[in-house]
Structure 1
Amino acid sequence: RLAAVAAGEAEAETARLAAEAAAETVRLAVEARLAAEAKAAEEARLVAEAAAEAETAEAARLEAEQKAQQEAEAAAAAAAATAARLQAEQADGGFHQRRRQEQQRE
């Protein structure tokens, strides 16, 4: 009879240990899943952050390119205006010089 009680107690202890092991396995699996989800979320955040930085850099590049184009156009317009002014001055100077020559002849 004592042997039967001892065997029952041993079975109960074995069952208790098996239940604890199963619970620990489930706990570890849940922890591993949560860690994997956290890692995936962090990786997604980093990818989104890198994409936002790339978009910002592209916008800055386009803005700088547009500004450089505007500055080049302004410089070309200024050069054309200067050339036109010099031509006008040269033409005006030639007119006055011819007029003086005509006045001297008279």
Structure 2
Amino acid sequence: MNLEQQQWWSQFLTDEKGVLLDVRTEDEVNTSKIPGSINIDIYQGQGFIYKLDDLDKTKNYYVYCAAGGRSANACNIMRELGFSKAYNLIGGISEWEGPTE
């Protein structure tokens, strides 16, 4: 599900089962990231699938990338793997106005 920044963030902040998932490359993450997010690089191909499979499917995932394209793909893959709640950040971190580190 695609969410605008304000809804994506406010929903995450009130979600006891929420997990921030950054699907960018390690180099991108080293530039800046949303605090508390975990990183699984979607470009790892099958490795990305294996790492997703290790995640708790009962949690709710708030997924982002640089501009929203890779994270939209990641949400689709997650749904195929049985994740019921994966929320894509429209515009990605490039349009992010919230906290970063």
**Higher helix share goes to which structure?**
1
- Which of the pair has the greater relative contact order for Cα pairs under 8 Å at 6+ separation? 2
Indicate the TM-score class for this superposition, using the shorter chain for normalisation.
Answer: under 0.3
Q: TM-score, normalised by structure 2?
A: 0.16
Q: TM-score, normalised by structure 1?
A: 0.15
**Higher strand share goes to which structure?**
2
